[in-house]
A and B are shown apart, each in its own frame.
Chain A
């Protein structure tokens, strides 16, 4: 090999070496991962204590990361423990395993395959329980406003102001339905739903039962109240007993007319279907919360030719009742029934207050919808 050829070979080798080094540098710069920054730890707000919220500024290499490991160190201890791992794109993590009043610091580690880069340690933070959930201020404000509206209209009712309540056909038909049963000499069946006494619909059903039982006592008809919940059964029996006393017919009350059947859903439906086919009640009331048995009960009642009045706040069961019953109280009408039937000024005042509360919500909704629509109109974005 001549001197010139040797020189050429050396230049080619150096060129190749430079090229390799250059590529290596580029690859390293592409795959180098950077840690997240500004890691801040603070007490998790609106909780019962025992948790710390950790927030950070996202890593510039976030798009190629597997995720972030969260490390915790208790102040005064050298032990570091991993408290969680979350995927890329996240900028916060809640450590729910802290002890209140203890100080903790956190480190967020960016992870890509086997490479890891840790952030600086956060500020020390302690967890503590809160005495008020600030996220629920709106609920508190609305409840206070709503309570004032109800109290205002109750006071107006107390002063003797005539309060108008629109006619509810299902409730207007109660007298007629009870009268029909008396004329036919047949009993009246009252089904108070399938939920416990803690459900507002069941309490509403008890309120209606009291008014219906008073009318039944006055007409001297027979009442049957089968129950699926033992607590509801005891309340229902007391309600009916008290209604008979108020109607001046305590002797006509039969404790056996209100009884517990079973807490099994479909066994209860079978039992009530049996009562309807055997006893052939002239009127069936279905008041309260119902599940899939709603149509089984209402269709069996319809097949016996009974007048049926239903009322429920179970939105999914309403179409079935509307189809199979003569009258149906829709949702809130169930709650209004007690006031409507008793015509007590105090209850009517509460009812009017409730309607005003609804009107306030509707106005707020309309105003906010209009604002929302106007601010999102494409034409406004031209200006």
Chain B
């Protein structure tokens, strides 16, 4: 039963999930939208509770056992508690029962998101530029035929995209564009076919109960 019930549910929901693609009738489309917008949202909300429970348990355990860097776990737990209280009782724009400003200093959940989380996310994203340089350096240091080819192609595409290249070598921008539109696109499409078929095969195997790895490989 422990295995059959999930497999049966997957078979039914798998077939039901494919029907809206083939049947445009509003009965099926409405049922599908209802399922996605209601049932899945409810499941997602419950799992979020499990997720938050997991992170609290993980860091509480770290604090209790005084594991390495346990001080950071306190930072996380206190931040989680404060933002949860502000979010639950202060409302999104500070229009809840909890006061979320002291004079002109606002600390409602929207302000915390815009003034703290967004800039912190942007900071992490900006690190990408430095990692790109280090990755490119490592790749070109490999000194293999593939690395040389990659270096040469990257140089042509990058140099072909700046106006100076058109002035020095008039045909270079066209060649750079050709690299992007012909060999690069051909490779991407080839991979796209493989990915689409692999995805289809995996979905079929899961729906038919052949692939059970997601159940922990239960036989």
Residues of chain A touching chain B, judged by Cβ–Cβ distance below 8 Å, are: 46-50, 129-133, 136, 139-140, 143, 146-147, 150, 154, 200, 203-204, 206-211, 214, 227, 230-231, 233-235, 238-243, 245-246, 256, 259-267, 269-270, 278, 292-293, 295-296, 298-300, 302, 313, 315, 318, 320, 323-324, 330-332, 334-336, 338, 342, 346-347, 350-351, 353-354, 357-358, 361
Contacts and interface: CB of A to CB of B under 8 A. Distances in A.
Contacts of B218: 242
13 contacts: A129-B27, A146-B197, A203-B206, A203-B214, A207-B213, A233-B51, A234-B50, A241-B216, A264-B117, A266-B120, A267-B117, A299-B131, A353-B201
A347 B209 CA distance: 11
Nearest to A338: B213
Contacts of A136: 21-22
A347 B195 contact: no
A140 B22 contact: yes
A35 to B, nearest CB: 33
B136 interface: yes
Contact of B204 (A146, A211, A331): A146
Given A233-B50, A267-B121, A332-B194, A347 B200 contact: no
B213 A256 contact: no
B131 to A, nearest CB: 4
Q: Is the interface of A mostly helix, strand, loop or mixed?
A: helix
Contacts of B211: 207, 338, 347, 350
A246 B210 contact: no
Contacts of B21: 133, 136, 139
Interface in B48-78: 48, 50-52, 54-55, 57-58, 61, 68-69
B4 to A, nearest CB: 16
Interface stretch (B85-93, B94-102, B167-175, B185-193): B185-193
Nearest to A293: B124
Contacts of B25: 48-49, 129-131
A140 B217 CA distance: 30
Contacts of B54: 230, 233, 259-260
Contact of A231 (B43, B117, B135): B43
B124 to A, nearest CB: 4
Contacts of A150: 201, 204-205
A323 B136 contact: yes
B58 A259 contact: yes
A299 B199 CA distance: 28
Contacts of A357: 197, 201
Which of A246, A292, A320, A323 gathers the greatest number of chain B CB atoms within 10 Å? A323
Contacts of A133: 21-24
A131 to B, nearest CB: 5
Interface residues of B, number: 62
B5 interface: no
B105 interface: no
B124 A269 contact: yes
B132 A146 contact: no
Contacts of A336: 198
A324 B69 contact: no
Contact of A296 (B55, B68, B128, B215): B128
Q: 5 tightest A-B contacts by CB?
A: A242-B216, A207-B213, A230-B51, A332-B198, A260-B51
A133 B23 CA distance: 6
A357 B198 CA distance: 10
B24 A46 contact: yes
A256 B51 contact: no
Given A331-B194, A335-B199, A347-B205, A48 B135 contact: no
Interface in B30-62: 43-44, 47-48, 50-52, 54-55, 57-58, 61
Nearest to B133: A299
Contact of B139 (A140, A262, A323, A358): A323
B213 A239 contact: yes
A323 B135 contact: yes
B29 interface: yes
B214 A200 contact: no
B127 interface: yes
Given A208-B213, A242-B216, 11 more contacts: A47-B24, A48-B25, A204-B202, A210-B214, A230-B54, A239-B216, A263-B51, A269-B124, A292-B128, A293-B124, A315-B191
B203 interface: yes
A308 to B, nearest CB: 12
A206 B26 contact: no
Given A47-B24, A296-B131, A358 B194 contact: yes
